[in-house]
Amino acid sequence: MAITDAPKIITSRLGYDDSHTINRYVATGGYQALRKALTMSPAAVAEQVKAASLLGRGGAGFPAGVKWGLAPADVWPRYLVVNGDESEPGTYKDRILMERDPHQLIEGVLLACYAIGAGQAFLYVRGEMALAQERIAEALNDAYQAGYVGKGILGTDYSIDVVLTWGAGAYIVGEETALIESLEGNRGMPRLKPPFFPAAKGLYMQPTIVNNVETLSNLPWIVANGGEAFAALGAEGSKGTRMFAVSGHVRNPGVFEVEYGVTTFRDLIYAPVYAGGIRGDHQLKAFIPGGGSAPWFFEEHLDLPLEKVTVDKAGSMLGSGAIVVMDDTTDAVKACLRLVRFYARESCGKCTPCREGTTWLERILQRILDGHGRPSDLELLLDVSDNISPGLTWPPKQTTICPLGPSATAPIASALGRFRDEFEARITVAEQARTSVPVELKAPSHA
Amino acid sequence: MPEPEAPAADGVVVEINGREVVARKGELLIDAAERAGTYIPRFCYHERMRPVGMCRMCLVEVDTGRGPALQPSCMIECSPGMKVDTESEVTKKAQDGVLEFLLINHPLDCPVCDKGGECPLQDQTMAYGPGESRFVEEKRHKEKPIPISDLVLLDRERCILCDRCTRFAKEVAGDPLIHFIHRGNDTEVNTFPDEPFASYFSGNTVQICPVGALTASTYRFKARPWDLETTESTCQQCSVGCRISIDSSRDQVQRYAGVDIDPVNWGWLCDKGRFSHESVTAEARLGEPLVRQGDELVPTRWADALGRAADALRGASSPEAIGVIGGARLTNEDAYAWAKLAKGVLGTDNVDAQLGDGLPAEVVLGLPRATIDQVCEPGGTVVLLGPDVKEELPVLFLRLRHAVVSDGVTLVEVSPRTTGLTGLAAASLQPRPGEAGELVRALVAGSDAERDVAGLPAEAVNAARRLLAGSRGPLTVVLGRPSVAESATAVVDAATALLAARPDTTFLPALRRANVHGALDMGLAPGLLPGRVGLDEGRDCFAGSWPSVPASRGLDTEGILRAAADGHIDVLVLLGADPLADFPDHDLAERALAGARAVIAVETLPNASTRRADVVLAAAGFAEKAGTTTNLEGRVSSLSQRVTPPGTARADWMLAAELAARLGADLGVLDAEEILAEIGRVAPSHLGLDLAVVAGSPDGVLVPLGQPEAGPSSSGDAPEGQRGAAADAAAVRSDAADDTTTEEAEAAAAAAAEGAATAEAQAGAADGAAAGGDDAVPDEPLSAPRPELVAFVAGAPGSAPPLDAYAFRLVATRKLYDQGTTVQASAHLAGLAPGTAARVHPADADRLGVSAGERVVLRSARMSITVPVELDPGVPRGAVALVTNQRDVRVGDLIAVDGPVTELRIETAS
Amino acid sequence: MARLSPDNVTLALEIIGRYPRPKSALIPLLHLAQEQDGHLTDDAMAHIAELVGVTPAEVLGTASFYEMFKMEPVGRYVVNICTNIACQLLGGEELLEHAEHRLGVRPGQTTPDGLFTVEDVECIAACTEAPCLQVNYRYFHRITHDEFDQLVDDLAAGRRDDIPPHGTLARVRQHIPPERRAGCVLPEDTATPVWIASASTEEAEA
Ligand SMILES: Cc1cc2nc3c(=O)[nH]c(=O)nc-3n(C[C@H](O)[C@H](O)[C@H](O)COP(=O)(O)O)c2cc1C
Ligand code: SF4
Ligand code: FES
C-alpha cells in the first residue's frame, strides 16, 4: 500500500462550511498567489506551471504548461476557456471544486490569463449545475468588488473580465472544440483537429487555451509554493496530487485527493481511509479506471499505480479520475448497454459512424438484453464497433472526428472480451425461446 | 471543379497509391487525388463550400510520417511527402462501414425517388455496398415529404445529414432558414415553425443534395434520369448568364440545373432561372402567328402574317417612320439579323433594345470594363451604384457575397434605398433620388465634405470617402439604373466623376434583361452598328455585306414612343418587348401604342403589348433554338436547342430573313452558325468569332476579342497594353469643357488613350490568340482597318429640382418575382410576386400622421394611385419606394420620363 | 406573447454585452426565456433571434441540441433521475421505476396536474452519492424510495421553497460593475495585452 501524507492541494478548504465565501478564501491564504504573480513576469508564472509538470485533469492528461506554449507567438487576442462541463460517467470532482471552492478556481483562472496573456476568460459550467453557477456568480461578484477581477487588478495594469457562462445539457460539449462551438452560440459539434487545435484556432478562430476546472484549481498552490514543490510530489510522469471519485459497489464511495502516480487502485478501492473495499461480502468483478470511455480493468490490474503512463500502457486510462467499481452481482450485459446507451444518446450526430453506429450498437444490446438476441449478434457488435474504431485498439483509432464514437466501443470490447459467456447465455435463452415455448428469463450466472 | 493541370511552381509532391502527384499548395487531398484520376467517394464535400468532414465517406489512409491513419481527405491539405492509400484494406473497410451506416436508416425507396438513377448514395451502394442488410431493427420514421418552401420538399427519412443544403443556405446564400435541429440520431434538417425556406436560391439545395431528400416541386415524379436528354446552355432570365444544363424528355423541357463555370456562376442558379423552365412549356405559349380582326387577334398562316407585316413595313412613309424596340430576348444571331433588317434593309436607325430603364448604349459599351472575377477580386473595393443586385442579378449577388464574406472585398453602396447587399457593405449611403452624382463627386473628392450631401450627413459621406481613398488597386463599379423613376443622368454623372478621379476604375454594367448586351453589341441601339461602332465609324466595314447603313442617328425607345404618340410612327416593331409593362412611363407607352399606325410583335408569350398588336409573329424561345448570348461582362456563350418550338413558332432571325425576302432583300443567312460567322467577319468587336471559337471555350469568350480573360491577378497590376480593348473603351470623350471635373476627365481620357494605342497595336495578334487557335483567324479579314470602338461619353452634372417640404421623390425598383411574362407563365413562380406598398421612412410617416397598413394616395404631376403604406427605415427621408410590375399597383402611372426625378405628394385616402 | 419581457430584455442586453460576439449569448438567453415561461416558446426564440441577429431557425438549431431546453411545456418540477453506470449499480433504475409508479408517468411525461415531469437522465456528476436525482437541477443524494415519496409530497404541498419552478437555474446572476469592467476583447482587437507588452519592455530594458 502506498498511502502517502501528501498535502491536500485543491481540497484543503472542503472542511469548512463556508469554504465558498470570499472571506474564508482570503482567510485561508486565498489570492496571495495572485499578488505574488503580479510581482512576477507572465513568463515567469508560466515557467512555474511548466516546472510543476501539471497534467491536464480533463481527461487527455496533456501537460498544461506545454499546452500554453502552443499558442502561436504574438497572435492576439487569446482567450481562456474553463471547461466545467463535467459529464463523463463516473466523474465527480469539478462540481465539488466549483460549488465549494469557487475562488480557488477563479484565482487559477486569473493566474492562467496573466501568464498566457488572455484578453478575456469564459468559465463554462455544465448547465445542470445550478448551485455551481450560483456559487461562481457570487464569487465573481465578490471578487470584482474586491478588486481581484476586472479592470486594473490589485492596482496593476492587468485587466481581465471573467465571464460566467453555462451550457444546457450535452455531454459532447465537454470536448474542447465542441465547447468552443457552444460558447459561440452554436450546436456543440466538435471541429476536426487538425486544423482546429484550439491553441491555434479556437474561440472566434483565435488562439484559445481550454483547461479543466481541476487543472486550473491547482494553480494558486503551484504559484504560491513553486512548481518545484508540486513536482516533488507524485511519480515521474504524474506529478502532484489528484482527485479521484470512487463510486459503485464499494463500502465508502467518495472523492479523494491522493498523491498522483504513487497510490494504487488497490489502495483507493480497499483502504479504509478511502473507499474501504467491496460492499458486503462480494467480490470485485471489474472496475472502470477513468470514466465511462475507459476500457475496464479487472482483479489483475489492482496493483497498478494511479499513474498516467502505466495505466495507458496497461490498455486503459485514468481519464477524468473516475473509478467505477462493479462487484460480482453486476450484470455485464446491462452495464455494457448502459454505457453504450450513454454514448448513443450523447452523440452530437456529426459523424456517420458515431451517429448511426452507436445507436445500432445500443439497439443490438437492448435486443440481447430483452431476450431477442441472435447468435450472429456478438460478431455484429464487434464488427460495427470495428467500423467506428478500426482494430478496437488502445488508444483507439477512429473513423470519427472526436473520440466519443469510439468511446462506445470500449465497454463492448471489455465486456465481450471478459464476459462473453453472459452474452451467450442470454442469446441461448433467446434462441430456445424462439424455437420452443416461452421460458422465463433467468438472471445470468456470475463467474 | 478540380482542373486537369497543376502548376508545378509551388506544387506539393504527395504519393497517392504509389504514384507521385503534384498537388497545389493548400489543395485538399480529395481534389488532388481527383485531378490525378483517383476519385475518392464523398457525400458532404462540395468544392464550392467549406469542407466539414461530416459524412466520413472520404476516409483514406494517410501517412505523414507517423504511420498510416484514417483521415477525411476532404479536410486534409496535401503536405510534402504525404503517402496516401485509397485502396488499402483499412480504407475499404472504413468506407464500406460508412456506407452501411448511411443505409441502415435509409428508406431505400429508390423506385419512387426522384433522385433514383442519379443518386450518389445509390451509385455508391451499387458499386461498393454490402449485399444484405445486417440491420434488423426498425428504421427511423419521419413524416414523408414536407414542403419547406413553395419550391422545395424535404423527405427527412432519405436525408443523410451531409450539411450541404444547410451549409449552402448559410454560407453561400446567407439565408440560414434551414438548419440542423435536435441531436445525434434524432438530428434532422428543418425550418423554424411557420418560417419557410424562402430563399431566392433554394433550388440549389435540391441540386446539391446527394440523395433524394430535397426535391423540387416542379419536378416531382416528372421524369426519370434515364429518359432525360441533356444539353448545356446559358440561362436567359437575367444578364448574368449562368451556365445551365437543360434536361428534356419526350421533347419537353423538364428541368434546369446549374453548371459550374469558374468565371460566372460556380454551379449556382437563382430560383427564377432554375424554375423558369415551366414557362417554356406553358400553356400560353404562342405556337402560331396571329393577326388582328377587329378587336381580336386570330390565328393565321405564316404566309398571311408575314405578308401583312411586310406590307405594313413597305407602306411606311419613310424609314424614320419605322421603330424597333426590344431585343434582349433574342440570341446574338437573332439580334444581328434584325439589326441588318432594320438598319441595312429598312434603313431606320430608330432601334433600341433597352426600354428606357437602362443606361445609354454608349455608356454600357464605352466604359472600361470589369469582369465578375475582377469585381470580386480578393481584397478589392467595389462601388455598387445600381439596382438591387440580389433582386435583379441574383447570382452576381452570390458572387459578391462570397467576395465580401470570404475574400475580404470592401463594398461601398450608393443606392436610393437599402438593398440585399446593404448588410454586407462597409458603407451604404442612400442619397436622395436624383442626387447620386453629387454624392459620388463628394465620395471621390480630395477632401472631406463640410456639409450634408444629397440629404446625407457629412460624417457618413466622409467615412465612406476615406474608405474609398484608402483602398488599394483600381476601383471596380457595378453600374446601373437604381430606380426607373429617375433618369440615367445622375448615374452617368457619377460614372464620369469616378473615372475622372480614379482613371483606372473599371465597370460592370448591371444590365436589365438577359441578352441586352448582345443586342446592343449587334447594333440594336440608335447610332450604333454591330460590333460596338458608331454609324459613321462602322460604315465602311458594312459596305460589303449590308445593302445600306442609316445616314444619321435615330431615336431611342423614349424617342420612338414619343414619336409614335405624336403620330410619326407608321410601324412599331416589338421584338420581345412589352413597353406597357416595362417602360417606366406607362402613359407614354399607352399613347405610343395607340398612336402607331401598325404594331408588329415578335413574341413567345402573349403580354399586354402583344394584345395591342396588329400582327403577332410566334417566336421560338429559349431551349428551342441554338445560338449565342452575351452576358453583362461581354461574355459570349452558347445557347442550345433541346426541344422543338411549340406549333410552328420560329427563330427570330428566320422571321427577319423572311420579312427581308418579302421586302425584296436577301439577308444572306441560312442558319445561326452562318450568322455568327458573318458577325465574326464584320463586327469590329467580334472579329474572329465563330461557332468553333465559342464551342471551344466552355467558359465563354469575352468580347471585344483581344481582351485577356480575367484572372485573380490580372486586373490590378496588368500592364496597360494588356488591358487590351478595355482600354480602347477608356478613351473618354468629354463634351463639357469648363468645369474642373471634366478637366480631370479629359486628363484621364488622355492617359487611357495612350494605353489604348498600345492595345490597338496588339489587337490583330491578340484577336486570334485569345480566341483560341487556328479556328479563330477570321476567314475574310475586315475590308477596312478596325475602326475605333464606341467610347464613353462623359455626362454633365445634372441636378434634381429643389425639394419642397411637402414633396417626396419616387424610388421605383424591381423584385425578382413580378408580373413579368416568364414569371407568370411559370406555375410555381407566379404566386411568389410579393406585391408592393408605399415604403416610407418611419419619421416621414410620423410627420404625415400615417401608419403602417393605411392606404394613401400618391399623386404625381401625371396621375395618382392608391396604395397601403409600409414603414421602412431603409428608405431615405423624403422618398417613397415602390416596386414596379406588381399586382394591383401600376407604378408607371406616376412616372413621367421627361424629368430627372419623379416628384410625389402623399395624401391620406379618404 | 411570450416574447421576452422588458426586464428580461434589459438583462439580455447586459448578457449580450459580455461576449465578443452577440451569438455567444444564445444559450444564456435561452435559459432566460425558459426561466420566464418554463419552456421555450416559438415567440421567445424568434425574439432572441432578433436580439442576437440570427434567424429563428439558427436559434432553434442551437436550442434543440441541448436537452435542458424544452420546446413543450413541462411540469413545475422536473425530476431527473440518473440511471447511468454508477447509479445503475446502486439502484438508479429501480428508483426511476419507483418514481414512475409513484407519479404515474413514463420518463418524459408530465403528471396531469402539471406538477412533475420525470426524466431518465445521464450521469449528473454525483456518482459517489448514488442513487441520485435532481429536481429542477437541485441535487438529492443517496435517495431511498421513502425519501423520494417524502420529497414528492413536500413539493406537491409547496413545502420546498428552496426549489424554484422549472426554468430558473442560478438565483444569483453575475453582475459586472461598470467601473470594474475590463471590457470585451473582440477578435479584431489585435493589440498585445498591456501587461504582456510592459513585461517585455521591462525585460528589454533589463
Ligand atoms: C467526448 C469528450 C468529452 C469530454 N468531456 C470533458 C469534460 O466534461 N470536462 C473536461 O474538463 N474535459 C473534457 N474532455 C476533454 C477536453 O476535450 C479537453 O481535453 C480538456 O478540457 C482540456 O483541459 P485539461 O488540459 O486541463 O485537461 C472531453 C473530451 C472528449 C473527447
Ligand atoms: S464522434 Fe460522435 S460526438 Fe464526436 S464529433 Fe463525431 S458524431 Fe459528434
Ligand atoms: S466528403 Fe469528406 S467527410 Fe464527407
Q: Report d(CA B602, CA B324) in Å as an integer.
A: 11
State the DSSP code for A146. Answer: T
Does the A235-327 domain belong in CATH 3.10.20.600?
Answer: yes
Closest ligand 2 atom to residue B184 Cα is: 7
Q: How does pLDDT run across A204-256, given as a tens digit for each residue?
A: 999 999 999 999 999 999 999 999 999 999 999 999 999 999 999 999 999 99
Return the residue matching grid coordinates 477570321: B778
Q: How does pLDDT run across B452-469, given as a tens digit for each residue?
A: 999 999 999 999 999 999
Q: Which of C16, C52, C64, C84 would you mutate first to test chain A, the one with the most A CBs within 10 A?
A: C84
pLDDT of B774 reads 38
| pLDDT for residue A90 is more than 90 | yes
Q: Is-same-fold flag (C6-71; C77-156)? A: no
SS (H, E, C) B752-785: HHHHHHHHHHHHHHHHHHHHCCHHHCCCCCCCCC
What residues contact residue B477 under an 8 Å CB cut-off, 6+ apart?
A: B370, B382, B383, B384, B385, B495, B498, B505, B506, B507, B508
Q: Any idea how long chain B is?
A: 910
Contact B70 A352 (CB under 8 A): no
The alpha carbon of residue B178 is apart from the nearest alpha carbon of chain C, in Å, by 6
Domain containing B589 equals: 290-358+516-773
Closest to A161 (Cβ–Cβ): which among C23, C69, C181?
C181
Last residue of a domain, one of B509, B542, B572: B509
Residues B718 and B830 grouped into a single domain: no
Q: Report d(CA B606, CA A46) in Å as an integer.
A: 79
* Cα distances (angstroms) measured from residue B75 to each of A301, A382, B56: 40, 28, 10
Q: Report d(CA C76, CA C157) in Å as an integer.
A: 13
CB B149 within 8 A of CB B274: no
Return the residue matching grid coordinates 454633365: B796
CA angle at residue A244 from A268 to A109, to 5 degrees? 155
Question: Is residue B650, in this structure, part of any structural domain at all?
Answer: yes
State the DSSP code for B288. Answer: S
pLDDT of B111 reads 87
Q: Parallel, antiparallel, or unpaired: how do β-strands A322-327 and A241-248 relate?
A: parallel
- Short-list A50, A60, A3, CA closest to A312: A60
**Neighbouring-strand partners of residue B859:** B864, B905
- Short-list C84, C87, C81, C47, CA closest to C63: C47
Residues B504 and B533 grouped into a single domain: no
Q: Report d(CA C2, CA A254) in Å as an integer.
A: 44
pLDDT band at residue A447, thresholds of 50, 70 and 90? very low
Closest ligand 1 atom to residue A60 Cα is: 19
pLDDT of B56 reads 98
Structural domains in chain B (count): 4
**Neighbouring-strand partners of residue B84:** B16, B62
CATH architecture of A332-434: Up-down Bundle (1.20)
pLDDT of B2 reads 47
Q: DSSP E strands: which ranges in B304-431?
A: 322-326, 351-352, 381-385, 410-414, 427-429
A174 CB under 6 A from ligand 1?
yes
The alpha carbon of residue C102 is apart from the nearest alpha carbon of chain A, in Å, by 24
Asked if B184 is an interface residue toward chain C (Cβ–Cβ < 8 A), one would say: no
Alpha helix (H) ranges present in A288-408?
Answer: 308-313, 332-346, 352-369, 377-388, 404-407
Count helices and strands in chain A by DSSP H and E runs: 18, 10
Residues B535 and B678 grouped into a single domain: yes
Contact A42 C195 (CB under 8 A): yes
Q: Is the dihedral of CA B441, B446, B448, B449 positive or negative?
A: negative
pLDDT of B144 reads 86
CB A153 within 8 A of CB A159: yes
What residues contact residue B108 under an 8 Å CB cut-off, 6+ apart?
A: none
**Neighbouring-strand partners of residue B63:** B68, B83
Residues B479 and B563 grouped into a single domain: no
Backbone angles phi, psi at A356, to 5 degrees: -90, -40
- Short-list A221, A273, A226, CA closest to A251: A273
State the DSSP code for B406. Answer: H
Amino acid B532 reads R
All residues of chain B having their beta carbon less than 8 Å from the beta carbon of residue C67 are 183
Using the CB atoms, write b or e for B654-675: b if 16+ within 10 Å: bbbbbbbebeebebebeebbeb
pLDDT band at residue A26, thresholds of 50, 70 and 90? very high
Last residue of a domain, one of B103, B131, B146: B103
Last residue of a domain, one of B484, B509, B534: B509
pLDDT of B208 reads 98
Residues B626 and B651 grouped into a single domain: yes
Amino acid B374 reads Q
What distance, in Å, lies between the first and last C-alpha atoms of chain C? 65
Residues (pLDDT < 70) of chain B are 1-9, 128-131, 706-784, 910
Q: Report d(CA B145, CA A85) in Å as an integer.
A: 38
Q: Order of strands, edge to edge, in the sheet holding A241-248?
A: A254-259, A241-248, A322-327, A284-288
Q: Where are the domains of chain A?
A: 22-230, 235-327, 332-434
Q: Report d(CA B290, CA C107) in Å as an integer.
A: 73
| pLDDT for residue A99 is more than 90 | yes
Q: What is the CATH number of the domain that holds B649?
A: 3.40.50.740
Asked if A446 is an interface residue toward chain B (Cβ–Cβ < 8 A), one would say: no
CB A54 within 8 A of CB A239: yes
pLDDT of A434 reads 75
Q: Report d(CA B760, CA B774) in Å as an integer.
A: 21
Cα B86 to averaged position of ligand 3 atoms, centre (Å)? 14
Asked if C64 is an interface residue toward chain B (Cβ–Cβ < 8 A), one would say: yes
Backbone angles phi, psi at A135, to 5 degrees: -65, -40
Question: Is residue B155, in this structure, part of any structural domain at all?
Answer: no
Q: Which three cell numbers stand for residue B521?
A: 453589341
pLDDT of A73 reads 94
Q: Report d(CA B333, CA B675) in Å as an integer.
A: 6
Question: Is residue B178, in this structure, part of any structural domain at all?
Answer: no
Q: Which of A172, A187, A197, A350 would you mutate first to test chain B, the one with the most B CBs within 10 A?
A: A350
Asked if B182 is an interface residue toward chain C (Cβ–Cβ < 8 A), one would say: yes
B479 CB under 6 A from ligand 3?
no
Instruction: Please state the ipTM of this predicted complex.
Output: 0.95
Task: Break chain C down into helix, strand, coil percent, rounded to 5.
Answer: 45, 10, 45
Residues B484 and B620 grouped into a single domain: no
Closest ligand 2 atom to residue A402 Cα is: 4
Which residues 88-127 on chain C approach chain B with CB closer than 8 angstroms? none
Asked if A154 is an interface residue toward chain C (Cβ–Cβ < 8 A), one would say: no
Q: Is-same-fold flag (A22-230; A235-327)? A: no
Q: How does pLDDT run across C90-110, given as a tens digit for each residue?
A: 999 999 999 999 999 999 999
pLDDT of A437 reads 54
CATH number corresponding to C77-156: 3.40.30.10
Residues B535 and B662 grouped into a single domain: yes
Q: Parallel, antiparallel, or unpaired: how do β-strands B12-16 and B83-85 relate?
A: parallel
Question: Is residue B584, in this structure, part of any structural domain at all?
Answer: yes
Q: Which of C14, C26, C65 would you mutate first to test chain A, the one with the most A CBs within 10 A?
A: C65
CA angle at residue B482 from B628 to B847, to 5 degrees? 155
Residues B686 and B584 grouped into a single domain: yes
State the DSSP code for A440. Answer: P
Q: Where are the domains of chain C?
A: 6-71, 77-156
Q: Which three cell numbers stand for residue B764?
A: 490583330
Return the residue matching grid coordinates 510581482: A39
CB A1 within 8 A of CB A305: no
Q: Which three cell numbers stand for residue C153?
A: 409530497
Identify the CATH assignment for C6-71 out of 3.60.15.10, 3.40.50.980, 1.10.10.1590, 1.10.645.10: 1.10.10.1590
Q: Which three cell numbers stand for residue B870?
A: 409600409
Asked if B177 is an interface residue toward chain C (Cβ–Cβ < 8 A), one would say: yes
Asked if B195 is an interface residue toward chain C (Cβ–Cβ < 8 A), one would say: yes
Q: Any idea how long chain A is?
A: 447
CB B348 within 8 A of CB B554: yes
Contact B187 A357 (CB under 8 A): no
B54 CB under 6 A from ligand 3?
yes
| pLDDT for residue A96 is more than 90 | yes
Asked if C169 is an interface residue toward chain A (Cβ–Cβ < 8 A), one would say: yes
Helix, strand or coil, per DSSP, at residue C17: coil
Q: B35 in the Ramachandran plot: left (φ > 0), alpha (ψ -120 to 50) or beta?
A: alpha
Q: Report d(CA B359, CA B385) in Å as an integer.
A: 12
Task: Find, in chain A, the residue whose alpha carbon is nearest to that of C133.
Answer: A128
Contact A348 B186 (CB under 8 A): no
State the DSSP code for C124. Answer: -
Q: How does pLDDT run across C141-187, given as a tens digit for each residue?
A: 999 999 999 999 999 999 999 999 999 999 999 999 999 999 999 99
HSE on the CB side for A192, CA within 13 Å? 23
State the DSSP code for B170. Answer: I
Residues B530 and B430 grouped into a single domain: no
Question: Is residue B626, in this structure, part of any structural domain at all?
Answer: yes
Residues B373 and B348 grouped into a single domain: no
Q: Parallel, antiparallel, or unpaired: how do β-strands B351-352 and B808-813 relate?
A: unpaired
DSSP string, B404-454: HHHH--EEEEE-SS--TTGGG-SEEE-PPTT-HHHHHHHHTSSS--SS-BT
Return the residue matching grid coordinates 499513474: A307
Closest ligand 1 atom to residue A87 Cα is: 8
Residues B500 and B527 grouped into a single domain: no
CB A401 within 8 A of CB A371: no
Q: Is the dihedral of CA A169, A173, A179, A185 positive or negative?
A: negative
CB count within 10 Å of CB B408 equals 10
- Name the class of domain A22-230: alpha beta
Return the residue matching grid coordinates 417612320: B321
- Short-list B830, B648, B822, B833, CA closest to B235: B822
Whole-number average pLDDT of chain A: 95
Q: Report d(CA A208, CA A70) in Å as an integer.
A: 10
B72 CB under 6 A from ligand 3?
yes
Q: DSSP E strands: which ranges in B24-75?
A: 59-63, 68-72
Q: What is the CATH number of the domain that holds B27?
A: 3.10.20.740
